[in-house]
């Protein structure tokens, strides 16, 4: 994946060269006559300072004012030299002489160039005519020769979005992309949302109502995916500069993952391949999410990335006949590879996070896995983490093979991290008592009827609501929930939900539901488009119910 972009300039006069050009760079450009793409070469010349001034004067280009030169200097011994770039065909025919500080070909008739005074513009190759770029942001990429080079020109709009155009062979705007979101950039802190892959560009955009989605385009500005879920970058720290983030994956954000994970909540994501296309799903693949074990308070996967969040890999989610299972792929940075080359291969029936809350700055998580086919009293096992990602392999293997275990994931985690043997035994004794209490309370909820199945957010809100309440429904739900909310969320008493409504712990309001992730990306994308385009009044035979908990609104159909 390339950064966005090869060369980046904006309204303020500045330019960043992301990758220093080699002495010889090959480009693929479009043929202005409609033929197949043509290969051009850019040669770098290092010219003596005196000779460079003669070249600029002879060319008729504006001479830069003293102190305003935008040049790249080199030294040969004590002699100062100036860099110029020359454009030529694959056979060596010179198209643009070495009089510009930078040359980036666009087509057989136009090239993006930078003059010696720092002004960027388009040169008409047949005539040599120079026209400055408009006062707007622009983005250029050569796709490393895998597709014809692209120049995008655009600017911010009054509503905070960006509008960009794909230029044609002559460097003039040809195809427009509106409402580009401006909140994510591949490598830069600021800039429009976009990612360049081998032969395509992916941008986040906004509907007029403010809902985010993504679109994919080929080098010619043709839409490959017009409306798909929004994309987010996955970063890691540069080991040579920990303050610098390195982009290694881009994921489709499928929205909130509705499976309860204890103290941790996450969205579900769908990986892209190295050309920015959604990967083809393996059997029963639902999506994945980052295996976070520590992150700064208030930061999320999208805002922190792996550099700021301490992610140790990915959790791969599968679903078959309504039953979800999980695989953990530690140390894997390229997200698309984990579903094909996961070196763990242990399949867990559930996963539970506990926030250890050991300081005010970081949330530190520990987690336990549930093993299928074990006695319920020994189903859960804690996975230790000692801040070394490579150790996760060892601890996952231990969890898979151990004959020991716990009925309660919280106790499993507490016991693993207890400071001494006495504390561990006390934790286990407490677990045994809580397990029996939970089992009895859950059985009572199942037998009493009048219950409803709810998502993790509402389930957690219901648990908080029951604290200190003495009615039977609250007491049973509180006891059944304690330590593990997974199964009890399917048996929330309707009388308890009504009490929450009356107390305004949750509030009903009309709002569209979040898109529901499907078992394959085609279904997920269809659901996303349906949710963007459908008329809300077309939903027949279902009642929309929404609740608000701690300022977060969640809706579902019942």
Query: Are 504 and 447 in a shared domain?
Result: yes
3-state secondary structure of 355: strand
Q: Answer yes or no: do 123 and 147 share one domain.
A: no
Interstrand relation of 380-383 and 362-370 (parallel, antiparallel or unpaired): antiparallel
**Does residue 346 lie in a domain region?**
no
Identify the three-state secondary structure at position 528: helix
Judgement on whether residues 145 and 127 belong to the same structural domain of the protein? no
* CB atoms closer than 10 angstroms to residue 81: 18
Both tokens of 301, joined, read 């996967």
* Domain assignment present for 413: no
Does 458 reside within a domain?
Answer: yes
Domain boundary among 255, 276, 296: 255
133: tokens are 């770029």
| Domain end residue (candidates: 231, 255, 279) | 255
Structure confidence at residue 242 (pLDDT): 47
Tell me, yes or no, whether 371 lies in a domain.
Answer: no
Q: Per-residue pLDDT tens for 345-396?
A: 789 999 998 887 655 555 677 889 999 888 888 999 998 766 555 677 888 8
- Pairing relation of β-strands 451-452 and 380-383? unpaired
How many Å is the Cα radius of gyration of the chain? Answer: 29
**pLDDT for residue 117 is more than 90:** no
Q: Are residues 243 and 224 in the same domain?
A: yes
- Residue 549 in domain: yes
Residue given tokens 């056979």 in the structure block:
91
Query: What distance in Å separates the CA atoms of residue 181 and residue 156, rounded to the nearest whole number?
Result: 10
Structural domain ending residue among the three candidates 255, 279, 306: 255
Domain-embedded: residue 487: yes
112/93 same-domain check: yes
Phi, psi for 385 (deg, rounded to 5): -140, 120
Cα dist from 6 to 38, 58, 276, whole Å: 20, 30, 17
Q: What is the Cα–Cα distance from 224 to 221, expressed in whole angstroms?
A: 9
Query: Cα angle vertex 166, ends 95, 144, to 5°?
Result: 55
| Residue-wise burial string across 97-111, b where 16 or more C-beta atoms lie within 10 A, e elsewhere | bbbbbbbbbbbbbbb
Task: Report how far residue 76's alpha carbon sits from residue 68's, in angstroms, rounded to the nearest whole number.
Answer: 23
Residues spanned by the domain of 245: 134-255
Q: Is the dihedral of CA 39, 186, 188, 162 positive or negative?
A: positive
The mean per-residue pLDDT over the stretch 525-544 comes to: 48
Q: Under a CB-based contact definition with an 8 Å cutoff, are residues 304 and 363 in contact?
A: no
* 119 in the same domain as 222: no
Strand, coil or helix: 335: helix
- β-sheet bridge partners, residue 324: 319
More confident residue, 394 or 244: 394
Residue 287 lies in a domain: no
Classify residue 543 by burial, with Cβ atoms within 10 Å: 0-12, 13-18, 19+.
Answer: exposed
Is there a single domain that holds both residue 168 and residue 85?
no
CA distance 289 to 266: 7
Tens digits of residue pLDDT in 271-310: 988 888 898 877 789 999 887 665 555 555 454 443 334 4
Considering the domain architecture, whether residues 144 and 129 belong to the same structural domain is answered as no
The answer to whether position 13 is within a domain reads no
Q: How many domains does the chain have?
A: 4
Whether 148 and 126 share a structural domain: no
Q: Are residues 109 and 150 in the same domain?
A: no
Most confident of 135-139, 234-238, 421-425: 135-139
pTM of the model: 0.70
In a shared domain, residues 117 and 183: no
Fill in the DSSP letter of residue 108: S
Token look-up 């009642």 returns 543
Question: Do residues 501 and 540 both lie within one domain?
Answer: no
Place of tokens 């003596």: 48
Residue 526's pLDDT is: 60
Q: At residue 468, does pLDDT exceed 90?
A: no
- Which of 100, 137, 109, 99 minimizes the C-alpha distance to 40? 109
> Cα–chain-centroid distance for residue 264?
18
pLDDT digits (tens, 9 = 90+) for 516-530: 434 466 666 665 555
Tell me what percent of the residues of the chain surpass a pLDDT of 70.
Answer: 68
């Amino acid at each position: 994946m390339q950064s966005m972009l090869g060369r980046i300039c904006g309204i303020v006069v500045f330019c960043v060269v992301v990758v220093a050009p080699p002495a010889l760079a090959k480009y693929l450009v479009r043929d202005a006559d409609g033929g197949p793409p043509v290969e051009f070469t850019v040669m770098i010349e290092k010219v003596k300072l005196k000779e460079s001034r003669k070249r600029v004067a002879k060319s008729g280009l504006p001479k830069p004012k003293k102190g305003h030169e935008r040049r790249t200097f080199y030294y040969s011994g004590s002699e100062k030299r100036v860099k110029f770039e020359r454009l030529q065909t694959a056979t060596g025919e010179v198209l643009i002489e070495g009089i510009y500080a930078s040359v980036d070909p666009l087509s057989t008739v136009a090239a993006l160039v930078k003059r010696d005074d720092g002004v960027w513009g388009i040169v008409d190759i047949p005539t040599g005519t120079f026209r400055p770029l408009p006062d707007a942001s622009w983005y250029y990429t050569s796709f490393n020769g895998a597709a014809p080079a692209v120049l995008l020109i655009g600017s911010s709009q009054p509503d905070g979005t960006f509008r960009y155009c794909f230029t044609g062979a002559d460097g003039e705007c040809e195809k427009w992309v509106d409402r580009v979101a401006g909140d994510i950039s591949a490598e830069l802190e600021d800039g429009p949302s976009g990612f360049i892959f081998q032969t395509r560009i992916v941008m986040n955009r906004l509907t007029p109502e403010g809902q985010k989605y993504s679109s994919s385009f080929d080098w010619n500005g043709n839409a490959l995916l017009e409306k798909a879920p929004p994309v987010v970058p996955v970063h890691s720290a540069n080991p040579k500069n920990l303050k610098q983030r390195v982009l290694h994956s881009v994921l489709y954000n499928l929205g909130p993952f509705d499976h309860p994970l204890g103290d941790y909540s996450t969205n579900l994501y769908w990986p892209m391949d190295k050309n920015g296309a959604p990967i083809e799903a393996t059997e029963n693949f639902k999506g994945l999410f980052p295996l976070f074990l520590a992150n700064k308070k208030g930061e999320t996967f999208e805002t922190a990335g792996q550099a700021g969040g301490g992610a140790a890999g990915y959790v791969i989610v599968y679903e078959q006949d309504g039953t979800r299972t999980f695989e953990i792929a530690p140390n894997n940075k390229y997200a698309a590879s984990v579903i094909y080359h996961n070196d763990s291969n242990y399949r867990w029936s559930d996963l539970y996070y506990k926030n250890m809350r050991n300081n005010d700055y970081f949330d530190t998580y520990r987690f336990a896995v549930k093993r299928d086919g074990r006695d319920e009293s020994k189903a859960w096992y804690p996975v230790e983490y000692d801040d070394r990602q490579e150790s996760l392999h060892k601890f996952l293997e231990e969890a898979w093979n151990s004959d020991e275990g716990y009925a309660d994931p919280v106790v499993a985690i507490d016991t693993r991290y207890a400071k001494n043997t006495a504390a561990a035994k006390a934790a286990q004794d407490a677990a045994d008592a809580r397990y029996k209490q939970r089992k009895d309370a859950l059985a009572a909820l199942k037998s009493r009827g009048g219950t409803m199945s709810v998502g993790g957010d509402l389930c957690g809100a219901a648990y908080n609501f029951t604290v200190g309440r003495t009615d039977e429904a609250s007491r049973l739900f509180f006891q059944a929930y304690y330590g593990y909310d997974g199964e009890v969320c399917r048996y929330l008493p309707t009388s308890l939900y009504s009490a929450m409504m009356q107390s305004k712990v949750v509030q009903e309001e009309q709002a569209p539901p979040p898109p529901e992730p499907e078992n394959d990306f085609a279904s997920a994308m269809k659901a996303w488009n349906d949710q963007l385009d459908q008329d809300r009044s077309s939903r027949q035979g279902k009642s929309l119910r929404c609740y608000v908990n701690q300022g977060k609104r969640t809706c579902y159909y019942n």
